[in-house]
Amino acid sequence: MEKKRIAFVGTGGRALSFIEPVATTYRDNNEIVGLCDLSPARMAYYNGLLAGDLGYHVVPAFTADRYDEMLRTTKPDTVFVCTKDSTHDDYIIRALKAGCDVITEKPLTTDAAKCRAILDAQRATGKRVRVAFNYRWAPFRTKVKELIATGVIGRVRSVNLEYLLDTNHGADYFRRWHASAAESGTLLVHKSTHHFDLVNWWLDAIPAQVFAYGDLVFYGKKNAIARGDEALTKYPRYTGHPEAKDDPFRLDLDESEPFRKIYRAGEADSGYIRDRNVFREGIDIHDQMSLNVRYRTGEVLTYSLTCYSPREGMRVCFNGDRGRIEYHEFIGTHMNRAVRPKDFQLDVKPGAEAEGEWIKVFPHFKPSYVVPMPPATGAHGGADEILNRSFYAKDAPATDQWGRFAGHEQGAASILVGLAGVESIKRNVPVNITDLVPLRPEATRLSQLV
């Protein structure tokens, strides 16, 4: 059987989760034909891994200005996009026009104009675009989908979702490019796209209108000074600054080989500083957000995201006309350390005890009960391994019982909640999603979108 040819654009820390399976578990039916990145140093690190520990071989490497050359000469069947969020649209559209299918890391893109351009390019080319929503594929979250779909609590009428990012994982977004709204679309797009996609998928519903609030109350220089933490603002970054050695928000890029070789070594050719002080000036995203969403089919979501919590996890409550489901997920925190799946580990900080995952059903007029589930292992609650199987396995099914595949339209439905939220915060008014991007107006269910 002829191997599927896959090229990767973007070789930061997240790309490893998608590249290693191709080079190891799925090498018999897939081939990595090219890497593309701003930084030759980062690609050299990946090629060292491929030819070394992964037992693969060196693959052609192309700097970002040679992306079209890579598409032309390596002729990939699929391009996997793992670049900075604000550049997804450019790489996706150029790959589609070159005749390639695309898999993109979430979010699909960062603003409404870019979203419309991606949808237009897909329609014009007919090629396939998939979004790597790994959250859908974790066994616990799939079990929630099963319970709702089988009517355990009747028809769901409302959802409450609270997500807490702690001062390990949450702070990390404020060290990086994510702290710039122009590059990430804000965390309502970059991070919350996971949560909005989950609710869209759990309910099989299309969002219609959003009203939101957002503030920057913890990170940034002004907030640190107001709290009495001015000493934590005195250095521009953490690595190489001895005065930061006792800073609880410190990240040292010299602490591990991946950090040194991907980020420290890549600074000169990419200009990317991975460990900027989270209490600096210039941060223009929010660190706490709340919003209400109404769906085309009438359900309502109440959502909040806090980025400076002492603990990490989420609680979700579904109110149905036959009962209630409560889902709790507090399993520790994971900052992207650019490590192989075998080296993945959750961090449990003092005062942030891991309670695990559980689902409890509260039927009307009957005793409540806990839904039994096996323990989840591996990165992202076991989701990454299952997701990669769906991308790469030769026997991967074309359809999925629980509708976990997400295409460009479902990817758009997710980011549009965040984009509408950003617009609502700016204007202090409800925002209709179709005013941003006219997702199929005749559709009523998410499953009717690709």
Report yes or no: 305 and 165 within 8 Å, Cβ to Cβ: yes
Helix, strand, coil shares of the chain, percent, nearest 5, are 40, 25, 40
Residue 377 predicted with pLDDT over 70: no
Residue 350 predicted with pLDDT over 60: no
CA distance 24 to 268: 31
What pLDDT shows up at residue 338? Answer: 60
φ and ψ at 378, to 5 degrees?
A: 95, 175
Which amino acid does the sequence have at 309? S
CB atoms within 10 A of CB 356: 15
What pLDDT shows up at residue 365? Answer: 98
Residue 254 predicted with pLDDT over 60: yes
* The CATH number of the domain covering residues in 4-132: 3.40.50.720
Residue 148 predicted with pLDDT over 90: yes
The CATH fold of domain 135-219+283-378+405-448? Dihydrodipicolinate Reductase; domain 2 (3.30.360)
Average pLDDT of the residues in 154-171: 97
Average pLDDT of the residues in 369-387: 78
The full set of domain ranges for the chain reads 4-132, 135-219+283-378+405-448, 221-270
Report yes or no: 50 and 23 within 8 Å, Cβ to Cβ: yes
**Placement of tokens 């070394």 in the chain:** 52
pLDDT tens-digit series, residues 256-314: 899 999 999 999 999 999 999 999 999 999 999 999 999 999 999 999 999 999 999 99
Higher-confidence residue: 331 or 49? 49
Which residues neighbour 331 within 8 Å (Cβ) at sequence distance 6 or greater?
Answer: 313, 346, 354, 355, 356, 357, 376, 381
Q: Is residue 438 classed as helix, strand or coil in its secondary structure?
A: coil
Directed axis angle between helix 88-97 and helix 112-125, to 10°? 10
pLDDT tens-digit series, residues 403-449: 999 999 999 999 999 999 999 999 999 999 999 999 999 999 999 99
Which amino acid does the sequence have at 6? I
Average pLDDT of the residues in 338-357: 61
* Alpha-helical regions (H) of 52-204: 67-74, 88-97, 112-125, 139-149, 169-175, 181-184, 187-190, 192-203
What pLDDT shows up at residue 379? Answer: 60
Residue 236 predicted with pLDDT over 60: yes
Q: Is residue 71 classed as helix, strand or coil in its secondary structure?
A: helix
Q: Are strands 156-166 and 313-320 parallel, antiparallel or unpaired?
A: antiparallel
What pLDDT shows up at residue 117? Answer: 98
CA distance 243 to 245: 6
Q: Is residue 351 classed as helix, strand or coil in its secondary structure?
A: coil
Tokens of 346: 């959750």
What pLDDT shows up at residue 384? Answer: 85
φ and ψ at 86, to 5 degrees?
A: -70, -10
pTM for the structure as a whole: 0.94
Residue 340 predicted with pLDDT over 60: no
Average pLDDT of the residues in 351-363: 81
Tokens of 74: 């390596």
Cis peptide before 107 (omega within 30 of 0): yes
